[in-house]
Amino acid sequence: MSGTYIVIEGNDGTGKSTQAELLADYCRQQSREVIVIEEPGSDDSDKTTPVANYLRSLIKDGALVRDPEINLALFSAARRELWQQKIEPALKCGAVVISARNYVSTLAYQGYGEGIDAKHIMKITRLFTSKRYMRPDFIIILALDNENERRKRITKRGQVVDTSDTFESRSSNFQKRVDAAYRTIASKLPSSHVIECYSNGHYKTAEQINVEIQSIVKQL
């Protein structure tokens, strides 16, 4: 039995991890086996592997000066580890795999954000993973165009946004490129669905966003 692969994407501060957990609860209520993954790694050991988490620590280390191609290589290595050790085995067992991020993030950040050619990113991703990895059943993109709200949300969850060790700290122009990239990517991937997180001057509640996601994946 083939499982179902769901990816939740979006810029930093959009609540991907929260939505992954809420969707996992929903799927379990439908009597489905579920695993949750966070790329390129996670503070929760159930959502990652030791190798992927070590690579994540390198990615987040701002003291290691590197060019975008090195970032691509690090993300790809972590991606291969998670695909082979966590995602693929679960799909083969018929589980629902919910991942906060996958290669779409690399297209947005390293491609549109840092200037690496998209075809090159796709080629490297295919080399490190598989066609199944690159074709999720659902790609849910959480869109947040309001930069002030984005930074406020990141600060609220305890992350620092004014240091060089994470992509959250990049300039507003960089973040705008990433936001626009997600919309462009969504228009090209048939399994993509965009959810507007900010509406009428307010950020939607996690529950409101979750209801929208449920309506997309209800045919599970």
pLDDT of 165 reads: 46
Per residue of the chain (220 residues), give pLDDT as tens: 589 999 999 988 899 999 999 999 999 999 999 999 999 999 999 999 999 999 999 988 877 888 899 999 999 999 999 999 999 999 999 999 999 999 999 999 999 988 999 999 999 999 999 999 999 999 999 998 766 666 676 666 665 444 444 565 566 788 888 999 999 999 999 899 999 998 888 889 999 999 999 999 986 6
Which structural domain range is residue 204 located in? 4-217
166-203: burial string, b at 16+ Cβ within 10 Å, e else? bbbbbeeeebebbbebbeebbeeeeebebbebbeeeeb
pLDDT of 159 reads: 52
Count of domains forming the chain: 1
d(Cα 112, Cα 172) in Å, to the nearest integer? 14
CATH code of the domain in which 48 resides: 3.40.50.300
User: In 3D, which of 143, 154, 148 has the Cα closest to residue 185?
Assistant: 143
Supply φ then ψ for residue 114, to 5 degrees: -110, -5
Instruction: Report which secondary-structure segment, H or E, holds 94.
Output: none
pLDDT of 137 reads: 97
